[in-house]
Amino acid sequence: MSDQEPNEIVAAAKHANAARERARKAEAKSWPIGAIGLGVGIGSAAVAAAMLFAGRKKD
């Protein structure tokens, strides 16, 4: 066996490092889903409040 051939442990370590790096890059590109959901929730609550206010009876 020559020293130039990587064994399965070295190959697995390289694969794990590459996967970790891809995951780190994907995490940096992801959208902040929690903040978007909160914004949508607040926005829809504001629309509902405006509709209730507009539809009320005026004395």
Residues of the chain where predicted confidence (pLDDT) is lower than 70: 1-6, 27-32, 59
**Could you give the percent of the chain with pLDDT greater than 70?**
78
CB 44 within 8 A of CB 36: no
**Token pair recorded at residue 46:** 């504001």
- Its pTM stands at 0.39
Query: Residue 14: which residues within 8 A CB-CB, separation 6 or more?
Result: 6
**Is the Cβ–Cβ distance between 6 and 14 less than 8 Å?**
yes
What is the pLDDT, as a whole number, of residue 3? 62
Euclidean distance between the first and the last CA atom of the chain, given in angstroms as a whole number: 94
Percentages helix, strand, coil for the chain, rounded to the nearest 5?
75, 0, 25
- Write down the pLDDT at residue 59: 63
Mean pLDDT of the chain: 80
